[in-house]
Structure 1
């Protein structure tokens, strides 16, 4: 189906100004291809399609990793999102919120890992172990110096 006749293309033409404004404000790029609206953000890739007799919009997110069990999807390499919106701008807003949430979760996970590492470094056992290793290495070097001198 051509982009002009596709249901997504018709909806996009109705919301074109709002979509362009939203994309420009949030650093999102959108383009229509093969009757699907392709959406690219700095963090992820998305597709909006129209499916079903009621011509409802559906949002698909690109898979970030391969699962053991292949789940069939209308859009290969993408999985459906449980969010429903009647407008393209509604989906774009969800996409921006989704990316912000994911980056916040990654940041929290990194902070937690760093704090756990710091907790371990502050233990007496860890500190004693590092001191002992230095002391043992120094002893080894002094013994080697005595042997070779």
Structure 2
């Protein structure tokens, strides 16, 4: 899975650089960021695509599970944003929401390359990736067990 994350990250960063994306959000501490496209920016054609409703339902289900798992966690900030770009301290190029197909999740720990999930990612996948990058992070899943 690590090569896939690296590939997704390089594509997301390259695409945001090509778009000349200005970062709207700067992260400087361990973070899990859920990026989404607001409804007002979705066309009727996008909403009518086969599977879109199921995609949004899954995205929101896993987002709520992440929020519950990270609630009160003082080591990791949890953010949900529609910001077009997110800048990560120590990473040269921002991550663009557009490069993620409008929806995705970024796991960021300063000093380490970020993990970028395009589209839907399960709460278990995200929490386990957070645990790999920040072992002292308290996560609800038995990662590495």
TM over 0.5: no
| Structure having greater relative contact order (Cα 8 Å, sep ≥ 6) | 2
Computing the radius of gyration from Cα coordinates, the structure with the larger value is: 1
Q: Which has the higher helix share?
A: 1
Please report the TM-score for the alignment, with normalisation by the length of structure 1: 0.30
